[in-house]
Structure 1
Amino acid sequence: MRFAMGKTAKEELRSKEHARLNTPTDLGDRAREDISGAVNALLADTFALYMKTKNFHWHVSGPHFRDYHLLFDEQATEIFAMTDELAERVRKLGGSTLRSISQIAKLQRSSDNDAEYVDPQDMLAELREDNRALIARMREAHSVCDEHRDIGTTSLLEEYIDQAEKRAWFLFETSRSSGMTRH
């Protein structure tokens, strides 16, 4: 059943719809905007890193196949687990979060890898650098959250920074050749 609503009724409906998503926060509207923007960009980067890690998991080959295949799968699982908590953090503050693959593509700052074949050592190096870049971006977002005294998001980011540092460390150590000497 369709019916025409007057301008006042439409405006009231839109206001009610927006209010349903606008979770109250004591941090204020500016904090909600700044933090949502920073975390949504991180969320897009996280989805992109997840996809690249799964891509390498699916396409790795060579003498270390099993080790790399399992490492990439373990890391992808950890990265994917971040996505829900980051998105829910934005929603807890009353912000709006990602809604589509195209929105992820617009916001992501990391590069994709669509190559037909990638050498396993290059996979390790690329994922290591992508994790290091994600760490730097998480530190930037942490500063935004800290500026607005958002302890919930800063503590979440601190945990994720530690996880990403561990991933980068494992990727570094895995990529070292057995003939490498210490300096």
Structure 2
Amino acid sequence: MKAQIGLEPKKAESISEVLSSLLADEFVLYAKTRNAHWNVQGPDFHTVHLYFETLYHELETYIDDVAERIRQIGHYAPATLQEYLELTHLTEQRIEKNDSLSFIKDLLSDHEAIIIFLRENIDKIEEEYDFGTSDFLTTLMEKHEKTAWMLRSHLK
């Protein structure tokens, strides 16, 4: 049964494409954060290991929320690694060093890329009169902004 929520099918399709790219970005960032958690080493290992664990738990929630938003507007969420790699704006390249600052710089770059993507698309979604998704994305952007600020603070 199709969602009868006041969104024209073409608008819902367009919005689901934005959300699908976002889902892919969130999933790639999640995998990179898990990598940082598993492979970080150095004198600050324990503290940063726990911090990365906090971050990937947050990302698990974001991933689920984005996928559910796609379903709420009547579309199916992409759910394969192949789809994520085709849809993501991020790169999954592996950094050469396993120190905390290298991981933090890489994760910060990805959070900032997601913030920019969200900022670029919030107005477009509002133009489609999907204020629920717009509000959802604004809240998500604020969460990424807070994480970016915290990561950035490690680099000072």
Normalised TM-score (structure 2): 0.93
Deviations 1:135-182 (CA, angstroms, capped at 9, x unpaired)? 011112212211111111111111111110111111111122xxxxxx
- Percent of aligned pairs with the same amino acid: 31
Q: Quick one: which of 132, 147, 151 aligns to 1:167?
A: 147
**Does residue 51 of structure 1 match 2:26?**
no
Structure possessing the higher radius of gyration over alpha carbons: 1
Instruction: Name the residue aligned to 1:136.
Output: 116
Quick one: which amino acid aligns to residue 61 of structure 2?
A
Determine if contact 1:52/1:113 at 8 Å carries over to the other structure. Answer: no
Question: Post-superposition shift, 1:117?
Answer: 3.9
The residue number in structure 2 matching 1:88 is: 68
Aligned-partner residue type, residue 76 of structure 1: Y
Partner of residue 73, structure 1:
53
Kept after mapping to 2: 8 A contact 1:50/1:76: yes
Deviant stretches of 4+, over 4 Å: none
Q: Which residue of 2 aligns with 1:12?
A: none
Unaligned runs of 5+ in 1: 1-19, 177-183
**Contact (CA 8 Å) 2:41, 2:98: kept in 1 or not?**
no
How many residues get paired? 156
User: How far did 1:90 drift?
Assistant: 1.1
In structure 2, runs of 5+ residues without a counterpart are none
> Is 2:13 aligned against 1:33?
yes
Contact 1:35 1:141 in 2 (8 A): no
**Counterpart secondary structure, 1:27:** coil
Distance 1:144 1:95 in 2: 18
SS at match of 1:99: coil
Contact 2:125 2:134 in 1 (8 A): yes
Write the distance in 1 (CA, Å) between the matches of 2:67 and 2:51: 25
Amino acid at match of 1:162: E
Q: CA contact under 8 A between 2:40 and 2:100: conserved in structure 1?
A: yes
CA distance in 2, matches of 1:157, 1:57: 26
Among 111, 116, 121, the alignment partner of 2:91 is 111
Contact 2:95 2:103 survives alignment (8 Å): no
Residue pairs, 1:140-151, within 5 angstroms: 140-151=120-131
Mapped partners of 2:43, 2:33: distance in 1 = 19
Q: Deviation at 1:39?
A: 0.5
1:84-134 deviation digits (Å, cap 9, x = unpaired) = 111111111112211311111111110113346433211111111110001
